[in-house]
Amino acid sequence: MAPSSNVDVLIIGAGPAGVMAGNALASAGVNVRIVDKRPAKVMAGQADGIQPRTIEVFQSYGLARRLIERGNQMHSLAFYNPRKDGKGVERTSRVPDVTAPSARYRFEVTLHQGEIEAIFLDSMREHGLEVERPIVPESIEISEDVEELASKDSYPVKVVLRHLADATLETAPNGVHTNDIDPAIESSSSSLETVHAKYVLGADGAHSFVRGSLGIELEGEHTDHVWGVVDCVPVTDFPDIRNRTAIHSDFGSCMIIPREGDKVRLYVQIAEELQVDEHGRKDRSAVTPEKVMEMAKRSMQPFNLEFPDKPEWWTCYVIGQRVAKNFSVKERVFIAGDACHTHSPKAGQGMNASMNDSHNLAWKLAHVLRGWASPELLKTYELERRKYARDLIDFDKKLADLFSGKAVTTENATGVSHKEFQGLLQSMGGFTSGIGIQYAPSLITDPTAQSLAPGLVIGQRFLPQVIIRVADTRPYEIQDLLVSDTKWKVVFFVGDPKEEKQQAVINAVGEHLLCSKSFARRFTPKGAAQDAVFTLLTVSSTSKDDADYTDIHPGLRTHWSKAFTDDLAIDGRAGGTAYTTYGINPSSGAVVCCRPDGYVSFVCSLQDVTSGRLEEYFGCFMVGASA
Ligand code: FAD
């Protein structure tokens, strides 16, 4: 008989979406397993761009330093278009690569996918989680039993896993580290195991087995866009080889992505008609790395481009612009990443979108598994991430059309103008950087009192600002206090407690928080640490020279390290602009709730606290301690 076991969360697929979820859940102490069909991690190639918002997310897990140290930073974006004299291309403009003024990191990082995954694999290992490989699911069944599905203690998802014999990762003859299982592995000796899971996450890529076996359909088209990609170290006099560069030439379009070390990635859209095989798939065998490099060379004329060495990696792939109809079945099985959405690589979104799906889901699963929140919370995953995926496809379509179109010239007056292309990229800076992503109103996102803090947009990530810790005047980036530890952060902008009137308001809030009906007491499990679910922070408007952490009522001050003020740091380099940036009036203050994934979800006044508004808000989805 096949061995059988129970697990709280089973993750299928250890690509960017899978390892982000694995790390978030393992570091939260959730009972989780992660399996992958590959015998080893990705060795080279595939996705490589990490956007500003995703760097912030890495930082919230304590993982940004390694990413930034090992990766390449892209600060500028250059545009090249045909010269009027017909002799190749010339630079039309050079602009900042990131056009999101509020980004904490004003650049993108490029590093190959395997290195990025390794950051998570190492972190997961520290939390006792290893990827089990090579393993594939054979079947997935979700119980139909209503009681079983409703119970928080049941394991209603049955997955049969096939453990494949160990094998080394084969490299396909064309140099691509293939994502498909080597047939030799499939037919080799293997064994079966049955896993009963509370929840399953299918993070198994564009050809997702999980999606397919649950009958989740994809909406959208399998486009004709074929991309040739090479990772290489060219010798060139092209001046922008170390900047992200979009080239529109008479010989086609090319995108340059500078990478770690001297490496460069070249993307070339294959314009020619490719043969279609009997399954309707484009025959990509006609595309070779030499051909991709030749096309890049031609589009970069009159500059020289030579390739003294063989490319480190190359691929040729057809892009589908598709979104899954559902991201979950019965809120027991979820899909994330390429399993839910695929699009072109031009906007550098693939890995970012995938990891941010899991970042969105992981804390919600942890909350429900711990009995902190009602399973209704899980519905917000699809609501939030599917809307984002649809917006991404719409953007990708516009960009693809402009990128594939011929550049405007005297002969081709209807072609794509430089202004049009640059305009789209810059106007969508908030979206492409991930900074402007906004989640729709839901039971966790309540924009009713937005006017109390108009600079902190409800549904968007918490804006970075430097604040000063009162006890020791140490400056802190507020985002570093809003870490991804599955806890809610409730930030009390208390104004100036040195003013008598405001002190009275603060004291009333503190007294309210000390009573058993307050949200922090009601929704923290009995016997758990006082700050197990909620971290309470205060930000006053008192000058750092006068402020004392003891000014804050004990009900609001759970520890000296949680009291901050909005003032210039001692070195004068940052700080003192939080109230203004967030649009909060220091004479009245405000309370801002930040989700465990760093998104602003609710705002109310200090007076609202004493009238029970926070209990009302959290009561919509959190489960009371006595329940
Ligand atoms: P993936 O990275 O695809 O990870 C899925 C994981 O699931 C893999 O580890 C896979 O082995 C595993 N898996 C799949 N099926 C099963 C199964 N049945 N059982 C167990 N495990 C399974 N993006 C760019 O931005 N630029 C590029 O140039 C680029 N090139 C790409 C080239 C290729 C060949 C591929 C496949 C993708 C490329 N992408 C590129 C897309 C990018 O890699 C993805 O957007 C990103 O990796 C998505 O992450 P993910 O975790 O959702 O999926």
CATH code at 145?
3.50.50.60
**Pair 421, 531 in one domain:** no
Q: Alpha-carbon distance 359 to 458, whole Å?
A: 18
pLDDT of residue 99: 82
Q: Which atom of ligand 1 approaches the CA of 42 most closely? A: 9
How many CB atoms neighbour CB 65 within 10 A? Answer: 11
For residue 411, give the 3-state DSSP assignment: coil
Q: Is the CB of 36 under 6 A from ligand 1?
A: yes
- Burial string for 139-178 (b: 16+ CB within 10 Å, else e) reads ebebbeeeeebeeeebbbbbbbbbbbeebebeeeeebbbe
**Pair 124, 257 in one domain:** no
**Pair 313, 173 in one domain:** no
For residue 540, give the 3-state DSSP assignment: strand
CATH at residue 272: 3.30.9.10
**Is the torsion defined by CA of 52, 56, 61, 62 positive or negative?**
positive
Residue 581 lies in a domain: yes
**Pair 129, 269 in one domain:** no
What's the pLDDT band for 404 if we cut at 50, 70, 90? low
**Pair 275, 397 in one domain:** no
Omega of the bond prior to 302 within 30 degrees of 0, cis?
A: yes
pLDDT of residue 173: 38
Q: Is the CB of 354 under 6 A from ligand 1?
A: yes
Q: Alpha-carbon distance 401 to 347, whole Å?
A: 13
Which of 115, 230, 338, 359 for a ligand 1 pocket mutation test, highest count of atoms within 8 Å of Cβ? 338
What's the pLDDT band for 332 if we cut at 50, 70, 90? very high
By the 10 Å C-beta count (0-12 exposed, 13-18 middle, 19+ buried), 421 is classed as: buried
Closest residue by Cα to residue 303 from 262, 245, 345: 245
**Pair 376, 511 in one domain:** no
Q: Whose CA is nearest to atom 46 of ligand 1?
A: 351
pLDDT of residue 411: 64
Q: Hey, what are 607's tokens?
A: 């007076």
Domain tally for the chain? 3
Q: Which residue range(s) make up the domain with 515?
A: 450-619
Active site residue 475: no
DSSP 319-362: EEEEEES-SEETTTEEE-GGGTEE--STT--HHHHHHHHHHHHH
Q: Give yes or no for residue 208 having a pLDDT over 70.
A: yes
| SS3 sequence of 277-318 | CCCCCECHHHCCHHHHHHHHHHHCCCCCEECCCCCCEEEEEE
Active site residue 259: yes
Residue 75 lies in a domain: no
pLDDT of residue 220: 86
Name which of 382-396, 409-423, 514-528, 588-602 the model is least confident about: 409-423
Residue 83 lies in a domain: no
Q: Is the CB of 351 under 6 A from ligand 1?
A: yes
Q: Bridge partners of 50?
A: 109
Q: Alpha-carbon distance 384 to 21, whole Å?
A: 17
Q: How far is CA 241 from CA 82, 175, 237, 247, in A?
A: 17, 24, 8, 11
pLDDT of residue 425: 73
**Pair 303, 346 in one domain:** no
The residue from 259, 284, 332, 386 that is catalytic is: 259
pLDDT of residue 546: 96
Average pLDDT over every residue of 219-240: 88
Q: How far is CA 26 from CA 128, 199, 452, in A?
A: 7, 14, 37
- Contact (Cβ atoms closer than 8 angstroms) between residue 205 and residue 342: no
pLDDT of residue 406: 62
Q: Give yes or no for residue 130 having a pLDDT over 80.
A: yes
Mean pLDDT taken over the chain: 91
Q: Alpha-carbon distance 398 to 108, whole Å?
A: 22
**Pair 198, 60 in one domain:** yes
Give the residue with greater pLDDT, 271 vs 503. 503
The residue from 36, 48, 338, 597 that is catalytic is: 48
What's the pLDDT band for 625 if we cut at 50, 70, 90? low
Backbone angle region of 175, left / alpha / beta, with phi > 0 → left and psi within -120 to 50 → alpha: left
pLDDT of residue 410: 61
Active site residue 309: no
Give the residue with greater pLDDT, 480 vs 418. 480
Please provide residue 492's backbone torsions phi and psi, each rounded to the nearest 5 degrees.
-100, 110
pLDDT of residue 167: 52
Average pLDDT over every residue of 231-257: 94
Q: Is the CB of 578 under 6 A from ligand 1?
A: no
Percent of the chain with pLDDT over 70: 90
pLDDT of residue 394: 87
